Amino acid sequence: MAETTIETFRCMMCGHEYQEPVVKCEDKERSCPKCRSNSIRHLKKRVTKED
């Protein structure tokens, strides 16, 4: 059985943030649900520190 977690992503083009279930070890191509750009950045969960 594949493990699925809810991960947060951010679109680098329009700044839209969204969450999506991710199957562990699966590295599929993503695109922004808003602008359909594929410049998606994977945000780490529960990051509280700032740069």
Judged by the rule CB under 5 A, the positions of this chain that interact with Zn ion are 11, 13-14, 16, 32, 34-35, 37
DSSP 2: -
**Neighbouring C-beta atoms of residue 13, cutoff 10 Å:** 14
Distance of alpha carbon 2 from alpha carbon 20, whole angstroms: 15
Residue among 8 and 37 whose Cβ is closer to Zn ion: 37
In the complex, least distance from residue 33 CB atom to Zn ion, rounded to whole angstroms = 8
In the complex, least distance from residue 40 CB atom to Zn ion, rounded to whole angstroms = 8
| Token pair belonging to 45 | 């969960």
Residue among 14 and 43 whose Cβ is closer to Zn ion: 14
